[in-house]
Each structure stands twice: as C-alpha cells, then as structure tokens.
C-alpha cells in the first residue's frame, strides 16, 4: 500500500510517536512524505521514505497530483488546527482531491488509528 505522511510543524513529533507505535504496519508499506516530515521520519525510524518537496514549497501539491494519478492509497496528515498555515490553499486542495478520488485521509491520531485498523483488517473478511 502506498501511504503519504504529512505533519504540520507542531504535529511532527506526534506523527513520529504514531509511526513508532505502528512500526510493524509502516515497515511493510511504500511511504511518501513531504520534505521536512520525511526527513524526520527517516532519521527517527530508518524507514525508506520517498520525499517530496516541503509542504509550503509544493509538497502538498505533489502528493495531491499523486492522488489524482491514482498513486496514493491513503494519506495520514497530522494537521495543526490552531496555527494558521501560509500554504492553506494547498492543504485545502489536497483535502478536496482526497474526497474527489475517494482516498482515505486521516487528519488526526484518532482517525489515523481507525484507518490503520481498517487497512490492517480489510483482507481478513
């Protein structure tokens, strides 16, 4: 499964803890991430992550293009709802594309837990 991982600055540590908690799952996936988040994941976990540009420099749009081209199966995007983001239009476009192309998108840890549970159990009947 091809999974995109994104986190706003104030949520990057939360995403790293989430990945640590579910390392057995993530170890067996093809991972993509925006630049800074991807770098942190690689350094922290040693996982193989294909990095896009940083979110504000077009990384969210790169992942959106992958969604539109049927390259991404799921997005985990730990968003910071309390801090204004200078690239908010790009974030909104990514959210819209995930809806248009019916790609699961988790924007917080609770939803990410539910999505991973589903993905881990969907082939078991």
Structure tokens at 94: 């990514």
Structure tokens at 125: 């009947």
**Does the annotation list 37 as a binding residue?**
yes
User: Is 48 assigned a catalytic role?
Assistant: no
Specify the residue for token string 């790293």. 16
Helix (H, G, I), strand (E, B) or coil at 55: helix
Specify the residue for token string 């420099």. 57
**Does the annotation list 38 as a binding residue?**
no
Q: Of 9, 14, 24, 60, which one is the catalytic site residue? A: 60
**Does the annotation list 54 as a binding residue?**
yes
Is the separation of the CB atoms in 16 and 45 below 8 Å?
A: yes
**Does the annotation list 50 as a binding residue?**
no
Helix (H, G, I), strand (E, B) or coil at 1: coil
**Does the annotation list 71 as a binding residue?**
no
Is the separation of the CB atoms in 90 and 52 below 8 Å?
A: no
**Does the annotation list 12 as a binding residue?**
yes
Q: Which residues are annotated as a binding site for substrate?
A: 8, 12, 34-37, 54-55, 87
Query: Which residues define the annotated binding site?
Result: 8, 12, 34-37, 54-55, 87
Catalytic residues: 60
């Amino acid at each position: 499964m091809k999974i995109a991982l994104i986190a706003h600055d104030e949520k990057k540590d939360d995403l790293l803890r989430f990945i640590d908690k579910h390392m057995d799952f993530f170890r067996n996936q093809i991972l993509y991430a925006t630049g800074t988040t991807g770098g942190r994941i690689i350094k922290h976990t040693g996982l193989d992550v294909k990095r896009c540009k940083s979110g504000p420099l077009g990384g969210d749009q790169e992942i959106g293009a992958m969604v539109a081209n049927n390259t991404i199966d799921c997005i985990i995007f730990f968003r910071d709802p309390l801090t204004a983001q200078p690239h908010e239009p790009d974030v909104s476009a990514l959210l819209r594309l995930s809806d248009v192309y019916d790609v699961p998108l988790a924007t917080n840890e609770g939803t990410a837990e539910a999505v991973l549970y589903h993905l881990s159990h969907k082939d078991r009947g």
